[in-house]
Homo-oligomer: A and B are copies of this chain.
Amino acid sequence: MNRWLLPQDRVPEAWYNVTPHLGDALAPPLHPATRQPVGPDDLAPLFPMELIAQEVSTEPWITIPGPIIDVLRLWRPTPLVRARRLEEALDTPARIYFKDESVSPAGSHKPNTAVAQAYYNASGGVQRLATETGAGQWGSALSFAGALFGLEVKVYMVRASYLQKPYRRVLMETWGASVVPSPVDEPEHPGSLGTAISDAVRDAASRDDTHYALGSVLNHVLLHQTVIGLEAREQLQMAGEERPDVVIGCCGGGSNLGGISLPFVPDAAVRLLAVEPSSCPTLTKGAFDYDFGDVAGLTPLLAMYTLGHDFVPPAIHAGGLRYHGDSPIISALVRSGRMEAVAYPQKDIFEAAVKFARTQGTVCAPETGHAIRAVIDEALVAKEAGEERVILFDYSGHGLLDLSAYDDFLNDRLID
């Protein structure tokens, strides 16, 4: 066996909320003007009340509404796969498992929260959502979810990606979304996630019919992604594994990493490992401080590892990892030592991604390549030690809309 499937009625019925487990390690967001903790009313112009409540909830489990589960069942539970061919190529005693989130309609883990956010906004009477997207995985996911819940979706796409990745724009438009390059008022600026968040927040704050949606970083986003780890834990047991020795995910804002790893936080025997690009080394070289989520300073201040909200990372291909900050939950886990972090240059990433494609068959997103790089290194350490370690990672998305990155790697045009 190399794939473990769960029937549709085993989509988790509740999200796992790790925040009670973190206690005081999680500092509250501050209002950008007053620097006092933000309250629900401060956030109400941007988010529906259910999501605001989830952002600060201390309940350990939060029930998933039926209409969300109905949509998740279009592709969930996702397969847990053992990468036996990669193991054989590495000649490692490690057993490597991955949770395949690339099977969603939008091709990544992002729909897990996009569907929830679209549902809560639609059921709260909102007609329109504004959001940002970098490489396009999040914008695609929200466009898909908006189409299913009858919401108009406006996506502010980082201009450099908008110009380099027209297929991503077309995908969003196929689901009915409207996509414009950001920053909207500086046509020569290449843009960044920080500028696009500013554009989307301004849009949502200026219209009564519109809310804002964020694809990572916030507590409620990571909460929605915990279906990944919850399913994976059950599937690992089907595979005969008591627990993973290490859980690995790439980390930009932290949503796929949180999704696969948070359900394992209480089990101290499980190592957790974040993988980021060395050109945007938030967790490995950033400072832990209060900072804005966007360039313009419109968002609340979050307590997190940050490279500074005006940091513009180099144009690496893993656009989803080009973010100056990080999820407060992930930041707290790293700061406390519960989670480790490592950074790699992108040539190392694509070397690993191509090895994966030529052994396991599938071509991953550049973001996912970061996790695979770390998995290979962990498997080689296990080989060196002669130990049968169990490695679990999140295969967060496919790379079918990122093939120009592979072209650059195969033709030695990558710059680190």
Q: Give the B-binding residues of A (Cβ under 8 A).
A: 1-3, 5, 7-9, 73-74, 85, 103, 105, 107, 144, 147-148, 166-167, 170-171, 173-176, 354, 357-363, 398, 400-401, 403-404, 406-407, 410
Can you name 6 extra interface pairs (CB under 8 A) apart from A2-B74, A170-B406?
A103-B103, A105-B362, A144-B361, A147-B358, A166-B407, A174-B354
Which B residues lie within 8 Å of A167 (CB)?
Answer: 167, 400, 403-404
Which B residues lie within 8 Å of A407 (CB)?
Answer: 166, 170, 173
Question: Which chain B residue shows the least CB distance to A358?
Answer: B147
Q: Which of A166, A357, A410 has the most B CB atoms < 10 Å from its CB?
A: A357
Which B residues lie within 8 Å of A174 (CB)?
Answer: 354, 357, 363, 403, 406, 410
Shortest CB–CB separation between residue A276 and chain B, in angstroms? 23
The answer to whether A2 and B410 have CB atoms under 8 Å apart is no
Q: CA of A222 to CA of B209 in the docked complex: distance in angstroms? A: 53
Which B residues lie within 8 Å of A85 (CB)?
Answer: 148
Main DSSP-derived SS at the A contact region? helix
Q: CA of A358 to CA of B73 in the docked complex: distance in angstroms? A: 16
Shortest CB–CB separation between residue A173 and chain B, in angstroms? 6
Shortest CB–CB separation between residue A172 and chain B, in angstroms? 10
The answer to whether B3 and A357 have CB atoms under 8 Å apart is no
The answer to whether B2 and A5 have CB atoms under 8 Å apart is no
Which B residues lie within 8 Å of A1 (CB)?
Answer: 8-9
Which B residues lie within 8 Å of A144 (CB)?
Answer: 361
Which B residues lie within 8 Å of A166 (CB)?
Answer: 403-404, 407
From known contacts A74-B2, A361-B105, A403-B167, infer whether A410 and B8 are also in contact, taking CB-CB under 8 Å.
Answer: no
Please name 30 pairs of A and B residues whose Cβ atoms are closer than 8 Å in the assembled complex, sorted by A. Answer: A1-B8, A2-B8, A3-B8, A3-B74, A74-B361, A85-B148, A103-B103, A105-B363, A147-B357, A147-B358, A148-B359, A166-B403, A166-B404, A166-B407, A167-B167, A167-B400, A167-B403, A167-B404, A170-B403, A170-B406, A170-B410, A171-B363, A171-B400, A171-B403, A174-B363, A174-B403, A175-B358, A176-B358, A398-B400, A400-B400
Which B residues lie within 8 Å of A103 (CB)?
Answer: 103
Which B residues lie within 8 Å of A105 (CB)?
Answer: 360-363
Q: CA of A357 to CA of B106 in the docked complex: distance in angstroms? A: 11
Cross-chain contact of A5 among B7, B107, B362 (Cβ < 8 A): B7
Which B residues lie within 8 Å of A175 (CB)?
Answer: 357-358
In the A-B complex, list the 7 residue pairs whose CB atoms are closest, starting with the nearest: A105-B361, A170-B403, A167-B403, A170-B407, A400-B400, A147-B358, A105-B362
